[in-house]
Amino acid sequence: MEHKSNAFLETEKLSTLMRKYALPCIISLVVAALYNIVDQIFIANAAYLGSYGNAANTVVFPLTVVALAIAVMIGDGACAFVSISLGADRKEDAHRSIGNAIVLCLGSSLILTAVYLLAMEPILSFFGGKVNAETYACAKEYFFWIALGMPFYMFGQAMNPIIRSDGSPRFAMVSTVAGAITNIILDPIFIFPLKMGMMGAAVATVAGQILTATLAVWYLFHMKAVKLQKSSFALKGKLIRRFLLLGVTSFLSQISLVVSMAAVQNMVTRYGALDPIFRQAEYAQIPLAVLGIVMKFFQIAISISVGLAAGCIPVVGYNIGAGRRDRAKDLFTMMLGWEAAVGFIALLIVELLPRQLIGIFGADNESAYYTAFAIRCFRIYLCMMVLAMVNKGTFIYLQALGKAGPSMILSLVREIIFGVFLPILLPRFFGLDGVLYSFPTADMLTFILTVSVILKVYRELSAENGIIKMKPEARALSAP
């Protein structure tokens, strides 16, 4: 019998596998998150942009998450599908799913770019871009160039998990880091001496994304466990449905976050206009700018959470395909412990060092109201970081187990029901602070539901004669 590819995933020590797969994944995702954050840091410290540019960056951020949602649905779905296929020694399914994922990613990215360019004004207005004239001008300039780079951004993000599934997490990390370093080098050059403003920040970002996408293309021609063929790129509806099902949770997790951000940003704009300070035209952009900064810090922390869990996908998928539920359970325990630990460290940072954090984003160039609101925002908005990390890690691990249904439901409840309903409800009682209270309240309520799902998964993975309850699509992959 032919030796199965990546068989070491069934035998190697779990802590070693987590370190090998999760660490590069964490670095890749954190670096990817830094793309937008680096822009915001340099924009905030440019006196001619300041909080107006910061607010504009906040307006555009959800629109990049829409692109990311599509990319990770394709990439994470293909990653899980490829890993389970290799565990079940089904190489034909593996190479075809990668080829189909490439075609889907390219097609969807071009469509999204066209939509963004044609409907720029109503889209920016929907996310609060018209809080004042200065913010809207900055947002429009920044968004135009970011939209042009969407195909490169989406391709790099979609191929990253696929590269990991081929057994090359380090290359996936290096390609992302290389793009981020390019962005970091070009940002200050374009923004300060060349004074290219928001356009400079956007072009620096796109240049980094082009490099990451180029490295991904190179790797696709040098894959190890899977070899692409001409037939790989022939679209197969049934195959696409099977791997997209495994990635739909990643999509919903990101796209529901966009819906939640839209609600939060609209409520911040509405209730900021009722605040005695922020109703003044020169301060109107401050709540939106500060919220964007706080969300970016959260994005870094949650990238670590996602990286811990996403790095486990190839390991879990392979072991489930090979019938090793005991290893899947042990890895789940290990991951939850790390999620809680990282969340606690992040919590200490936001509670003890909020003034230092906001100082990175040009607080010295702004009014005292900017700093005061930022400190309050950090301490309230992110006070349930530990629960947020455990929630997110669980959602993704369920996806790796092929349990797309529970993962999708938990994600939607967190971001759509709690993430939209609470920011609309709580400000009625607490004003602008109600928007800040909505985020930790949503994480607390979600954690109650998550705990029950965690216990159920443990029972299923521990059942002596039972099998993990996967969707038919995932179950078919592990069939002999």
Task: Compute the distance between CA of residue 312 and CA of residue 17 in angstroms, rounded to an integer.
Answer: 8
In angstroms, the CA 217 to CA 214 distance is 5
Q: How far, rounded to the nearest angstrom, does the alpha carbon of residue 217 sit from its chain's CA centroid?
A: 22
pLDDT in tens, 352-392: 999 999 888 877 778 889 899 999 999 999 999 999 999 99
Q: Which of 86-95, 121-130, 219-228, 252-261 has the lowest mean pLDDT?
A: 86-95
- Residue 178 to residue 110: CA distance in whole angstroms: 24
Q: pLDDT tens digits for 151-164? A: 999 999 999 888 88
pLDDT tens per residue, range 415-439: 889 999 999 999 999 999 999 999 9
Q: pTM (2 decimals)?
A: 0.75
For residue 354, the Cα-to-chain-centroid distance in whole angstroms is 23
The average pLDDT across 76-100 equals 78
Asked if residue 401 has pLDDT above 60, the reply is yes
pLDDT digits (tens, 9 = 90+) for 319-340: 776 777 788 888 888 999 999 9
Residue position matching structure tokens 């565990």 = 87
Q: What is the pLDDT confidence band of residue 191, given thresholds at 50, 70 and 90?
A: very high
pLDDT of residue 226 exceeding 60: yes
Segment 210-218 mean pLDDT: 95
Largest CA distance in the chain: 75
What local confidence, expressed as pLDDT, does residue 6 receive?
66
Domain boundaries, the chain: 19-477
